[in-house]
Amino acid sequence: MIGMPASRIWNRVFTALAMAVLAYAVLAPLSSLDVLQSLGMPLLTDKLWFRLATITAMFVVMASAWNIIGGLTGYAAFGNVAFFGIGAYTVGMLITKARWPFLLALPLAPAAAAVFAVLIGLPLLRLRGHYFAVASLGVGVAVGELVQNVDFRGEPLFGGASGLFLPILAVPNRDLYFFYLMLAAAAVAIGVTWAVLRSRFGYGLIAIRENEEAAAVIGVNTTAYKVAAFALAATLTGLAGGVFAQWNVFVDQENSFPIGYNVEMILMALLGGTGTVFGPAAGAVVLQLLIQFLSGSLPITLQIPFVPDDAMPVLAQVVLGVLLMLVVVFAPRGVIDFFGGRSTLSIAYLRRSLRETSV
């Protein structure tokens, strides 16, 4: 490593760190297996660990999925939570009303979300810039309200305000099961992004992001490509929602259509680096841990003088807001830009970014 530029050393350090975190996340849960427990293996993961890790993996899926429409295609979708909710409710409905087994219901969650994305994408993706952002936000809010309020013959069709209670899945070691399922969804989301970036489809999406008119005249079917990207993002987000429904055993408007997820998944992608393969995933892990830390859910908690404990979640929101502003203004290409060996974090970098992002 002697003589290597500092940025490349850092690059290696962070790659090694990321690999270590990944290895820990994949292997540590195994310590909860009965076989290893009976052999005297110390328990590395408790209920809380599984809860946090599964949520983090869920956000890796959502941030990576958002990256496909927002990062690669350049369409800032603010309503992707609709796909999450549709996925969750698809599984919820099929299991509670139609008595389907979970693993049969799960594939229909991404399918339902994708169909919905095609239907709303066709009109919505004709809009550009903030018009699209606002319209998609509207869809995200509207779907949640519809799901809660639609009645059929005087009965709430989708469980109404009381939500849907799913039977607990009879598998040994449920925590481990759902964590690995969500982790697999995250791996699929990252793998899909990787494959898209190495395909004709990916070149088409980036061409649309960079200049839609130029993309059209070189022969990119821009409408079809945008709708396909939106549907792909919806598929992955819907998958996360489907896994969430059975894991959480309860779905309602509040936990399946939280408007805050829209902002969080975008912030994660931005923080890590939009348009990259691993950026959104890295952003999701870092930000989710930060959110949990600030809101006091981690074993290590933060004590700030004069701030009462119950005010910490509010403070977490404030920190997120400030972070979003700083990232957008000073590091528009995300934190991952510093680890590819392309740029180094310096005052000059921040000043250049500020110039680029200023009107």
Stretch that binds another protein, among 17-25, 58-66, 161-169, 204-212 (CB under 8 A): 204-212
Say whether residue 213 binds another protein (CB under 8 A): yes
Say whether residue 207 binds another protein (CB under 8 A): yes
Say whether residue 42 binds another protein (CB under 8 A): no
Measured CA to CA in angstroms, residue 33 lies from 43, 204, 246 at distances of 9, 46, 21
C-alpha 97/C-alpha 236 separation (Å) is 24
Stretch that binds another protein, among 15-23, 86-94, 110-118, 193-201 (CB under 8 A): 193-201
Torsion of CA 206, 211, 215, 216, to 10 degrees: 140
For residue 267, the one-letter residue type is L
Query: Least separation, in Å, of the C-beta of 194 and another protein?
Result: 14
Our CB check for another protein shows the closer of 162 and 344 to be 344
Query: Least separation, in Å, of the C-beta of 189 and another protein?
Result: 22
Measured CA to CA in angstroms, residue 317 lies from 291, 314, 321, 323 at distances of 8, 5, 6, 10
**Contact residues for 220 (Cβ-Cβ < 8 A; gap 6+):** 204, 207, 208
- Which of 22, 30, 146, 216 is close enough to bind another protein by CB under 8 A? 216
- Other CB atoms within 10 Å distance of the CB of residue 177: 16
SS3 135: helix
C-alpha 283/C-alpha 67 separation (Å) is 11
- Which of 12, 128, 130, 198 is close enough to bind another protein by CB under 8 A? 198
- Which of 194, 203, 293, 330 is close enough to bind another protein by CB under 8 A? 203
* Residue 205 CA, distance from chain mean position: 20
- Which of 16, 161, 195, 214 is close enough to bind another protein by CB under 8 A? 214
Query: Least separation, in Å, of the C-beta of 69 and another protein?
Result: 17
C-alpha 273/C-alpha 77 separation (Å) is 16
Say whether residue 206 binds another protein (CB under 8 A): yes
Query: Least separation, in Å, of the C-beta of 211 and another protein?
Result: 4
Say whether residue 210 binds another protein (CB under 8 A): yes
Our CB check for another protein shows the closer of 206 and 302 to be 206
Query: Least separation, in Å, of the C-beta of 281 and another protein?
Result: 20
Query: Least separation, in Å, of the C-beta of 222 and another protein?
Result: 7
Query: Least separation, in Å, of the C-beta of 219 and another protein?
Result: 4
Query: Least separation, in Å, of the C-beta of 237 and another protein?
Result: 25
- Which of 43, 103, 104, 218 is close enough to bind another protein by CB under 8 A? 218
Q: Which of residues 256-315 bind another protein (CB under 8 A)?
A: 275
Say whether residue 204 binds another protein (CB under 8 A): yes
**Contact residues for 47 (Cβ-Cβ < 8 A; gap 6+):** 175
C-alpha 116/C-alpha 135 separation (Å) is 15
Q: Burial letters for 113-149: b for 16+ Cβ neighbours within 10 Å, e otherwise?
A: bbebbeebbeebbeeeeeebbebbbebbbebbeebbe
Provide the binding-site residues for another protein, judged by CB under 8 A: 198-200, 203-204, 206-207, 209-211, 213-222, 275
